[in-house]
């Protein structure tokens, strides 16, 4: 391997990048655009869920109960209707996601004692929202019910009773339980996966398609030199993008950064090598830019999004799928990034993930050069 040949390839690549103004703009704009889109577009918090209420009694007590729903920031009571068909129509065309129905004999039965049930009709097409909304309604009802009980017992001259158990919850690492705090670090991983592949997937395929690859082959450059030379400029760009993303996450979204910068840079460098080599690999295999782009998106973006634990916790997946996640580099990088952002654990707890990434990056560099060599003969 000769450094000057490597440098020559790198210079050629840099020139090609710089000449295309749009791709330079994209390198800067894409991470920020993606951070914004993901940061605001994905929210697992349920707030201001549109709710319709149908109070079949219309007494003071039933109104009092519904007031609890109006007061909650999770619900946005859009309308009170006076018949079932209107309610069903609203659920059908999506005007409301939750409908609360108070029975016509609500206060009567409440004063007579015993349980009275309130209906919560929920549009469960969106399963996660439905689950969370039901939990919130449950909490509203329970609090109200408990207050009634305490009143009742007092009125009946019993000694004051207290609720037997209280749950004192402390949430670590993300005190306000906002999903943004957990999503933004994850977005860094996705951005890096996409950028890395975008940058490289087309470079080799383009040379094949335009016929310049033949010219490159006839020069004395070796496979390894060619690969490293082509990847080096993108590595620098990728690292700059990583910093851009993290800076943006901290300054714009206000996500804390609690861990060490050296672990962060080490992990990012390893992950970048992995995705760049992957992109290189696909562009060697596919030879056409269209196929290269489609395959690389499929192989990096999807796993980074779905199989890394970004939104969907890995330990809840079927065992076979869990096994597949172990060969996904994004999984390890996701763990590392979340850790340095939110937890700040010492490096001793992260050795496993770092080693896995290091192993995958070596493996991919070797495989990519081999494949390239085979393609030539």
Partner 1 sequence: MLGRLRHMLIKEFIQVLRDKRTRFVLIVPPILQMLIFGYAATLEIKHVPTAIVDYDNTQVSRDLISRFAASNYFEVRHIPADRRQIPLLIDRGDVILTIQINDGFARLLGKGETAPIQVIVDASNSNSALIGLGYVNQVAAKFAQEFQTARLQRSGATPLSSIPRIVLDQRPWYNVDISDRWFFIPGVIGNLIMVIVMNLTAFSVVREREIGTLEQIMVTPIRRVEFILGKTVPFFLVGLFDAILVSVFGTLWFGVPLRGSIGVLALGTILFLMCVLAIGLFISTVSRTQQQAMVTAFFFIMPAILFSGFGSPISSMPESMQWLTYLNPLRYFQEVLRSVYLKGGGLAALWQEMAAMGLLSIIMLAISVLRFQKSLD
Q: In degrees to the nearest 10, what's the CA dihedral of 116, 121, 126, 129?
A: -40
Tell me how far, at minimum, the Cβ of 169 lies from partner 1, in Å: 4
Closer CB to partner 1, 222 or 322, in the complex? 322
Closer CB to partner 1, 139 or 217, in the complex? 139
CA distance 58 to 161: 30
Closer CB to partner 1, 23 or 222, in the complex? 23
Give burial (CB, 10 Å; 0-12/13-18/19+) of 319.
exposed
Tell me how far, at minimum, the Cβ of 277 lies from partner 1, in Å: 19
Structure tokens at 175: 């005190």
Closer CB to partner 1, 38 or 280, in the complex? 38
Closer CB to partner 1, 6 or 30, in the complex? 30
Tell me how far, at minimum, the Cβ of 10 lies from partner 1, in Å: 19
Closer CB to partner 1, 135 or 240, in the complex? 135
Other beta carbons within 10 Å of 10: 20
CA distance 102 to 119: 7
Give burial (CB, 10 Å; 0-12/13-18/19+) of 234.
buried
CA distance 279 to 203: 9
Closer CB to partner 1, 273 or 350, in the complex? 350
Closer CB to partner 1, 82 or 126, in the complex? 126
Instruction: Write the DSSP symbol of residue 316.
Output: G
Closer CB to partner 1, 2 or 104, in the complex? 104
Contact 229, 8 (CB under 8 A): yes
Closer CB to partner 1, 164 or 220, in the complex? 164
CA distance 64 to 364: 64
| CA-based nearest residue to 195, from 249, 247, 243, 234 | 234
> What are the C-alpha distances in Å from 354 to residues 269, 305, 333, 347, 364?
11, 20, 8, 9, 15
Q: What is the CA radius of gyration of the chain?
A: 28
Planar angle of CA 34, 40, 42, nearest 5 degrees? 90
Contacts of 192 (CB under 8 A, 6+ apart): 238, 241, 242, 245, 268, 271, 272, 275, 333
Contacts of 174 (CB under 8 A, 6+ apart): 181, 182, 342
């Amino acid at each position: 391997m000769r450094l000057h040949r490597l440098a020559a390839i790198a210079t050629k690549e840099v020139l090609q990048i710089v000449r295309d103004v749009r791709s330079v703009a994209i390198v800067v704009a894409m991470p920020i655009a993606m951070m914004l889109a993901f940061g605001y577009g994905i929210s697992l918090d349920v707030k201001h869920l549109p709710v319709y209420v149908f109070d079949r009694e219309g007494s003071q007590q039933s109104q009092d109960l519904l007031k609890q729903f109006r007061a909650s920031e999770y619900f946005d009571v859009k309308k009170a209707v006076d018949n079932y068909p209107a309610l069903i129509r609203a659920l059908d065309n999506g005007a409301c996601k939750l409908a609360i129905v108070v029975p016509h004999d609500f206060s009567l039965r409440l004063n007579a004692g015993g349980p009275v049930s309130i209906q919560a009709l929920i549009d469960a097409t969106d399963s996660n929202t439905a689950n969370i909304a039901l939990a919130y309604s449950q909490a509203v009802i329970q609090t109200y019910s408990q207050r009634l009980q305490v009143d009742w017992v007092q009125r009946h001259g019993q000694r004051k009773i207290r609720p037997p158990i209280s749950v004192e919850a402390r949430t670590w690492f993300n005190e306000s339980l906002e999903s943004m705090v957990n999503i933004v670090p994850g977005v860094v991983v996705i951005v890096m996966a996409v950028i890395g592949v975008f940058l490289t997937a087309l470079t080799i395929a383009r040379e094949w398609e335009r016929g310049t690859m033949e010219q490159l082959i006839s020069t004395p450059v070796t496979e390894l030199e060619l690969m490293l030379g082509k990847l080096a400029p993108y590595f620098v760009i990728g690292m700059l993008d990583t910093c851009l993303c993290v800076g943006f996450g901290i300054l714009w979204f206000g996500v804390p950064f609690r861990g060490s910068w050296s672990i962060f840079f080490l992990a990012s460098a390893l992950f970048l090598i992995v995705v760049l080599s992957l992109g290189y690999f696909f562009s060697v295999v596919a030879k056409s830019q269209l196929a290269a782009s489609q395959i690389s998106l499929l192989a990096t973006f999807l796993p980074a999004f779905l199989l890394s634990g970004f939104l969907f916790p890995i330990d809840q997946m079927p065992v076979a799928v869990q096994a597949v996640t172990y060969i996904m580099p994004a999984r390890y990088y996701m763990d590392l990034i979340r850790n340095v952002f939110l937890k700040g654990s010492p490096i001793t707890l992260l050795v496993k993930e770092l080693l896995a990434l290091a192993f995958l990056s070596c493996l991919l560099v070797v495989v990519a050069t081999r494949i390239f060599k085979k393609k030539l003969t």
